[in-house]
Chain A
Amino acid sequence: GAGVSQSPSNKVTEKGKDVELRCDPISGHTALYWYRQSLGQGLEFLIYFQGNSAPDKSGLPSDRFSAERTGGSVSTLTIQRTQQEDSAVYLCASSLAGQITEAFFGQGTRLTVV
């Protein structure tokens, strides 16, 4: 596609439920990043995928968070047993060969846990 696409754009879920957030990167981009933006805060790195290498999961805040990237393209970020503090905008970005200078961001998924 023309840009990074994320879905859904908005998600309201009940505390304790699981949610899945989807990211479609720009075609041909081998690197994919997930960030989280909490209200009034900067962006917090979550996870990074580069090609077929093992992902860098160093930013995931707890074991309730996981992400996968199938076929080197679409990525899904899963949050299990959601908590209110998980409420944030989840941003996905993709780039060529891990060069962050080329990264393009999606519009994000606004997650609200009630």
Chain B
Amino acid sequence: GEDVEQSLFLSVREGDSSVINCTYTDSSSTYLYWYKQEPGAGLQLLTYIFSNMDMKQDQRLTVLLNKKDKHLSLRIADTQTGDSAIYFCAVGDNAGNMLTFGGGTRLMVKP
């Protein structure tokens, strides 16, 4: 089955850029997502990218997809303390029925 891997922890200073990386194994994955989970809150869909794209930008967020290497990244520009959360990478099949999530990357933003 699909395997999705993320680094566990990332620490940055306020105002710097954050880059959270994710690798996956199933090359047929069609939808790739980034979710944010804040303490005590549910998962919030941040952004997603289709496998036929290699980049998507949405305000401070940039998603890069390297299909050849099966590598997905999320860049947060001008990181703020409010961005501190756990970020989950997830990949979905063509039917979109089931997502496979990575273990999450805890982002800590220092003032």
Contacts and interface: CB of A to CB of B under 8 A. Distances in A.
A58 B95 CA distance: 15
B103 A48 contact: no
A42 B101 contact: yes
A98 B101 CA distance: 17
Contacts of A43: 43, 88, 90, 99, 101
A110 B95 CA distance: 29
Given A43-B88, A43-B101, A98 B42 contact: no
Nearest to A92: B42
Interface residues of A, number: 25
Interface in B1-53: 4, 31, 33, 35, 40-45, 48
Interface of B is mostly: strand
B103 A45 contact: no
B97 A56 contact: yes
Contacts of B44: 105
Contact of B96 (A58, A59, A101, A105): A101
A91 B43 contact: yes
Interface of A: 4, 35, 40-45, 48, 50, 56, 58-59, 91, 93, 98-101, 103-108
